[in-house]
Amino acid sequence: MSEKVYIIPCSGIGKVYGSICRQAAYRIVNDLRPGETAIECLPLIVKGKKEVVDELKKNKVITLDGCTAMCAYYDVAKVIDEPDAHFLSTSVVMENRDLKPEPDIYPLGENAKVLMEIFAKEIADKVGELLNGEE
């Protein structure tokens, strides 16, 4: 029985797309799905830290990536097998072409904030689907 969903953002540090992933992960865990979700540090997963890997295997995992290199997806897949779901922040940008994200990585610009909220909501809906079969 799965108890929670781990949200694992990539480590994209220098571009707004990585910031959108990281901020979306915080928004989900803190506000949209508190108690049902958690975050974990990607480098610890890559290192194969046993407690972390065991915990991920017992639960569900969603990876978030800021570009098609898909570091979080591939790093997680190497350690625990395929994540239960995967999202690219670039997709939300493509789907909302009227909201060109500002390049600022911190704090996010106004358009990037709106994109992050849309992205976080999509992922939060997936959490509901994975845990409770919500559509």
Residue numbers of the site for ligand SF4 (CB under 6 A)?
10-12, 15, 17-18, 65-67, 69-71
Closest distance to ligand SF4 from the beta carbon of 23 (Å): 14
Residue nearest to ligand SF4 (CB): 12
CB-CB neighbours of 98 under 10 Å: 6
Residue with Cβ nearer ligand SF4 (38 or 87)? 87
Residue with Cβ nearer ligand SF4 (4 or 9)? 9
In the three-class reduction of DSSP (H, G, I as helix; E, B as strand; rest coil), residue 113 is classed as helix
Cross-strand bridge partners of residue 12 = none
Residue with Cβ nearer ligand SF4 (18 or 83)? 18
* Helices (H), ranges, 1-135: 16-27, 42-47, 50-58, 71-80, 89-95, 110-132
